[in-house]
């Protein structure tokens, strides 16, 4: 780290509150992604398996709720797919039962989360990924994950209010990051 960037870090740290310093909220390890276990994943008893994978990877859970998603929420969530022929069946699928909405935090959480999910079509998803291990068809592919940092920000604000997200330091933090 150069003297200048080191000085900038000191200046940035000086402007933080103690909780912010404790949780390193200025560092890149605070990237957040929106993950949702879809109705088939909930009904098939896969909530624990999905959470376990994100936990054991080292990501930190900062928000979670079980909810029946409204059509309005789902129309907004999948707005970019509204012209696709499968859109009506996608909305019907996503509103066919409760979903588990989660926010996971950690360095590279968006990109790594997508790798952990596997390809959209389970027929193409590698073994070892969630879709590769737990499902068969694209119309019942168990899980959603944000595809970019920008869409993660937008999806998190769509599904969660700020006070539903928790800022804390994981006891594993110092064993996960240099």
User: Taking the complex as a whole, how short is the minimal distance between the CB of residue 33 and ligand IDP, in angstroms?
Assistant: 12
d(CA 44, CA 38): 10
150 part of the interface to ligand IDP, by CB under 6 A: no
For this structure, is 9 an active site residue? no
User: Taking the complex as a whole, how short is the minimal distance between the CB of residue 64 and ligand IDP, in angstroms?
Assistant: 19
d(CA 32, CA 96): 27
CB 35 within 8 A of CB 116: no
Considering the complex, state which of residue 147 and residue 164 has its C-beta at the smaller distance from Mg ion. Answer: 147
Would you report the helix, strand and coil content of the chain in percent, each value rounded to 5?
A: 50, 15, 35
When CB distances are held under 5 to 8 angstroms depending on the partner's kind, the choice from Mg ion, ligand IDP, none that residue 90 binds is ligand IDP
* Binding track, positions 68-97, relative to ligand IDP; x by CB under 6 A: -------------x----x---x-------
d(CA 102, CA 20): 22
Total residues at the site for ligand IDP (CB under 6 A)? 9
Token pair of 52, please? 């376990």
Stretches 25-33, 56-64, 138-146, 155-163: which one binds ligand IDP (CB under 6 A)?
138-146
Coil, strand or helix: which one is 158?
helix
Question: What would the DSSP string read from start to end of 46-99?
Answer: -HHHHHHHHHHHT-EEEEEEEE---HHHHHHHTGGGTTSTTHHHHHHHHTSS-E
d(CA 174, CA 178): 7
Catalytic residue among 90, 144, 146, 159: 144
When CB distances are held under 5 to 8 angstroms depending on the partner's kind, the choice from Mg ion, ligand IDP, none that residue 166 binds is none
Among positions 143-162, residues that touch Mg ion (CB under 5 A) are 147
Stretches 87-95, 105-113, 140-148, 166-174: which one binds Mg ion (CB under 5 A)?
140-148
Among 49, 133, 147, 164, binds ligand IDP (CB under 6 A): 147
Q: What residues are labeled active site?
A: 144
Chain residues in the site for Mg ion (CB under 5 A): 147
């Amino acid at each position: 780290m150069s003297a200048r960037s080191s000085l900038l870090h000191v200046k940035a740290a000086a402007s933080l509150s103690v909780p912010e310093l404790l949780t390193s909220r200025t560092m890149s390890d605070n990237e957040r992604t929106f993950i949702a276990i879809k109705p088939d994943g909930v009904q098939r008893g896969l909530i624990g398996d999905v959470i376990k994978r994100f936990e054991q990877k080292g990501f930190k859970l900062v928000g979670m709720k079980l909810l029946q998603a409204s059509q309005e929420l789902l129309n907004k969530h999948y707005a970019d797919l509204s012209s696709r022929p499968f859109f009506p069946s996608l909305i019907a699928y996503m509103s066919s039962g409760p979903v588990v909405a989660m926010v996971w935090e950690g360095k590279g959480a968006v990109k790594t989360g997508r790798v952990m999910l596997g390809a959209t079509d389970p027929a193409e998803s590698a073994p070892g990924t969630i879709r590769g291990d737990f499902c068969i068809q694209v119309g019942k592919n168990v899980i959603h994950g944000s595809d970019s940092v920008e869409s993660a920000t937008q999806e998190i604000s769509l599904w969660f209010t700020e006070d539903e997200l928790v800022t804390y330091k994981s006891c594993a933090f110092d064993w996960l990051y240099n």
